[in-house]
Amino acid sequence: MQSYDTICETLTLNDQSFNRVNVAWNNSFRRIFSRFYRESVKPLQYFCQTLPILYFIHQRKLLFWRKLAMHNNNFLLSLSRLVQNWFYAIGSEYDITTISASVGQIKSAIWAKFTQTV
């Protein structure tokens, strides 16, 4: 099982917290669209152009780390070097190979990966 002990920019979520947020996110779609708890919400999220929570967290992280790396402040650049390996570890899941990828490329890559699962 993949560990969700991750940071959403600066927020840390352990497995239990991630699962609670994920359930709440999915249940909100079920409630809005009057669906049963056993039904997948991926098609609803797709048509609402909304990412599932894990993809959303990954997108926020990658964009935050990219912003650090593109900054001209020496302190922020040093911080970005510390998280570069994390960027590449998550980015590789979406075929993002460089921290200098544009915001649009990152968003498109994550959306494309999500649409493959719908």
Per-residue pLDDT reduced to its tens digit, 36-74: 988 999 999 999 999 999 999 999 989 998 988 998 898
Q: Is residue 32 part of a domain?
A: yes
State pTM to two decimals. Answer: 0.86
Q: Is residue 10 part of a domain?
A: yes
Q: Is residue 41 part of a domain?
A: yes
The whole-number pLDDT of residue 13 equals: 80
DSSP string, the chain: -----EEETTEEE-HHHHHHHHHHHHHHHHHHTT--TTS--HHHHHHTT---HHHHHHHHHHHHHHHHHT---HHHHHHHHHHHHHHHHHHGGGT---TT--HHHHHHHHHHHHHHH-
Q: Is residue 1 part of a domain?
A: no
Q: Domain total for the chain?
A: 1
